[in-house]
Amino acid sequence: MKLDQITDGELSILQVLWEEGEATTRKLTTALYEEVTDSKMATVQKLTERLEAKGCVERDRKKRAHRFRPLVSHEQFLHSRLQALADRLCDGTLMPLITTLLQAKGISRSQRKQLRKLTSDLWPTRDTDTKTSK
Amino acid sequence: MKLDQITDGELSILQVLWEEGEATTRKLTTALYEEVTDSKMATVQKLTERLEAKGCVERDRKKRAHRFRPLVSHEQFLHSRLQALADRLCDGTLMPLITTLLQAKGISRSQRKQLRKLTSDLWPTRDTDTKTSK
DNA sequence: ATACAGACAGACACACTGTCTGTATGCATT
DNA sequence: AATGCATACAGACAGTGTGTCTGTCTGTAT
């Protein structure tokens, strides 16, 4: 599954599939283009064909109009992209990404709370504040 | 400063500049290629020229051999890339990136500790565990 | 039987990007 | 001053990737 070679157009296809769960060529075309023409349909077919070749999509050929389903989740894809970033910029380490993100502005109070809960759940060690209810 | 249009080759130049602080064309070429030829020098010149056009590098023309310095920090660049990821995959929100990274494997005990310290420093609210010494 | 919708193969144009060639010019050494 | 070298600079180029389009074939329904 070649996640790093996913093209921008292919990604758009995947995003529709993530939202819809599965879709036909027509449904994809409708979602992605203003007007559905033969050539737009062909474009979508080419993109799904390439996605299938890359192992990111499966095709159900039972019916005339094939149904496509994603073989990669949104989370998997995001993780892959983050890892690629880390590989290129941080010797493969994820920590710099995390610290950069935490230092970024725009983390609201409720989001901080959410993060604290997440970390407590993930790493239930003794020195983590487990008695949040005081 | 067009950080999103930085090419892979241009990024390699930037990385040397981040390490060295500043460099001449020759120094850059030596760092990036096994053997330094005229054409490789020209390649590096073209890349720095494009980087300058994109506002990511400044050039000191005082001496014959120009000296280049980065106008973007490694951190800035990383943040820009992360934001671009968020824009494309998460409606511009950074939180999904953070949660994905925290859930990723390979976060060691010491790194967790480091993260807890970072969050405490960043968000010194009353409900943050300030008395780590129990 | 006819028409339509979709699959499929192939070609194509366009843009990007790293590379290379050729030329001009500043600087140092003699 | 003359020579030679290192560098800057402009321009061209080829390879590649990518979205798009055309044309053809085939299954399905009316």
Q: Are A90 and A14 in contact (CB under 8 A)?
A: no
Higher pLDDT, A51 or B123: A51
pLDDT of residue B126: 59
Question: How do residues B34-70 score in pLDDT, each as one tens digit?
Answer: 999 999 999 999 999 999 999 999 999 999 999 999 9
Number of other CB atoms surrounding residue A94 within 10 Å: 21
Report the alpha-carbon distance of residue B22 to residue B27 in Å, rounded.
Answer: 9
Q: Is the CB of B88 under 7 A from strand D?
A: no
Nearest-5° Cα angle at A21, A18 to A27: 95
Q: Is the CB of A30 under 7 A from strand C?
A: no
At residue B4, φ and ψ (nearest 5 deg) are -85, -10
pLDDT of residue A131: 46
Q: Which helix (H) or strand (E) holds B26?
A: helix B25-32
Tokens of B90: 């998460």
Longest alpha-carbon distance in chain A: 64
**3-class DSSP assignment, residue A70:** strand
Q: How far is B53 from chain A (nearest CA, A)?
A: 22
pLDDT of residue B62: 95
> Picking from A55-64, A104-113, B31-40, which range would have the lowest pLDDT averaged per residue?
A104-113
Residues 37-56 of A with CB under 7 A from strand C: 38, 41-42, 45-46, 49
CATH of domain B1-125: 1.10.10.10
Instruction: For chain B, 134 residues long, give each residue's pLDDT as a single digit of tens.
Output: 999 999 999 999 999 999 999 999 999 999 999 999 999 999 999 999 999 999 999 999 999 999 999 999 999 999 999 999 999 999 999 999 999 999 987 788 899 889 988 888 888 765 544 444 43
Q: Residue ranges of the domains in chain B?
A: 1-125
Q: Are B4 and B86 in contact (CB under 8 A)?
A: no
Tokens of B6: 């930085």
State the pLDDT confidence band at A109, using cuts at 50, 70 and 90. Answer: confident
pLDDT of residue B127: 52
CATH of domain A3-70: 1.10.10.10
Q: Is the CB of A9 under 7 A from strand D?
A: yes
Q: Which of A121, A27, A101, A14 is nearest to A58 (CA)?
A: A14
Question: How do residues A67-82 score in pLDDT, each as one tens digit?
Answer: 999 999 999 999 999 9
* Interface predicted TM-score (ipTM): 0.89
Q: Are A40 and A27 in contact (CB under 8 A)?
A: no
